[in-house]
Structure 1
Amino acid sequence: MAVEIEKKYLLSGDGWRAEVVSGESITQGYLSMDREREVRVRLVGDGAAFLTVKGRRVGPARLEFEYPIPAADARELLALCLGAPLHKHRHHLGRTPGRWIVDEYTGANAGLLVAEVEWDEGQAEPPTPSWIGPDVSADPRYSNASLTRTPYTSW
């Protein structure tokens, strides 16, 4: 059993850009998205692909199970997803404590930048850097599943 613990934030400035160590393009969609579970298909960069099942969120935590799948299968599954596929560029940050990423959305969600931090069960929540803005973890509009149904540009 795997537990994902994360928080999501808007950004306050471009200070995060100096901390980028790598990045990749991501296309993802959802085969199921309800209050109890999400089933996500993700295609990363040049061909890595994953099927992920996430349970209901309890605070910043929820169950998460992720499995590699063939890229060809991911492309077929993306065509079966609910809503429009989500497109973003994920920036991995390396100088800030915790596992921080910034997602820079494109397409129907262009203009949206969201930072996420993950930490392991039993560890303290990492400190927030100066470039972090409001915590939007509890705002359902910012979930990736919601963005496939109601894109940022339509708000």
Structure 2
Amino acid sequence: MSESGFGDFEYERKFFVRELPAVAASDPTPALIVQAYLFSADGYAVRVRVQGPGPADLHATPGELVEALGEESIGTMTAKGPAVGGTRYEAERELDPMVAGQIVRRAEHVVAKVRYSAWLGEDGWIIDRFLGANTPLVLSEVERGGPVVDLAIPAFCVTEVSEDDRFRNEYLAHHPFGGWADEYRRELDALGPTFVDTLGRNQFEGT
């Protein structure tokens, strides 16, 4: 099932963040996520994930991070379909964490990140700080049980990337952000921020 717990679909909106916001420090138990993409094409993907308590050493390799999770980890396998209008098919099933960990350690295309959670207004938000080759990427997401409409958007959300395939984890597994971060920043400076305007009324913090 999806991370929001509402069956085999996820409803989310995703935003680019320039640096880890202060609200992330309010999460006393951030989670480490290390996930491998076994297949990815045309918006479809198969992902194996290992997740557990956040690590002390954020500079470890993905294999070392998986090993550090140990017995406290959770393993899952997820099949994803293409995203349309903030909605994406996502069927998630549990895996033995040892098996999931061994798959991730042997995979070629891996993403590692630390996930912080915070309740802001009426929504629960997650903030992902990416590690390794995807440093210094930070993304924030909000999920609901249905389409994410009339959203109150925090000030730390610089621009919306819900419909930008470059910020999907399966793309980042093959094309790490560290290799095109400067190019993206120049693009953002030139074009300015954009937000999806077909999902009700966006409300911006401080306006």
- TM-score computed with the length of structure 2 as normaliser: 0.67
Q: Please point out which of 125, 135, 139 is paired with 2:160.
A: 135
* Residue in 1 that maps onto 2:14: 8
CA distance in 1, matches of 2:141, 2:148: 16
Which has the larger share of helix? 2
Q: How many residues align?
A: 154
Unaligned runs of 5+ in 1: none
Work out the percentage of aligned pairs sharing the same amino acid: 28
Cα deviations by residue, 1:95-138 (Å, 9 ceiling, x for unpaired): 33223100001111111100011111266343111221100112
Higher relative contact order (CA 8 A, sep 6+): 1
32 and 125 in structure 1: CA distance in 2 versus 1, 3 angstrom threshold: farther
CA distance in 2, matches of 1:143, 1:88: 13
Unaligned runs of 5+ in 2: 1-6, 53-71, 181-207
Structure 1 segment 37-52 matched on structure 2, within 5 A: 37-45=44-52, 46-52=72-78
Residue 90 of structure 2 corresponds to residue 64 of structure 1:
yes
95 and 137 in structure 1: CA distance in 2 versus 1, 3 angstrom threshold: closer
Cα deviations by residue, 1:51-76 (Å, 9 ceiling, x for unpaired): 11111111100111111111111023
Deviation at 1:6, TM superposition (A): 0.8
* Residue in 1 that maps onto 2:125: 100
Flag the structure with larger Rg. Answer: 2
Aligned-partner SS, 2:91: strand
* Residue in 2 that maps onto 1:126: 151
Deviation at 1:15, TM superposition (A): 4.3
CA RMSD of aligned residues (A): 2.0
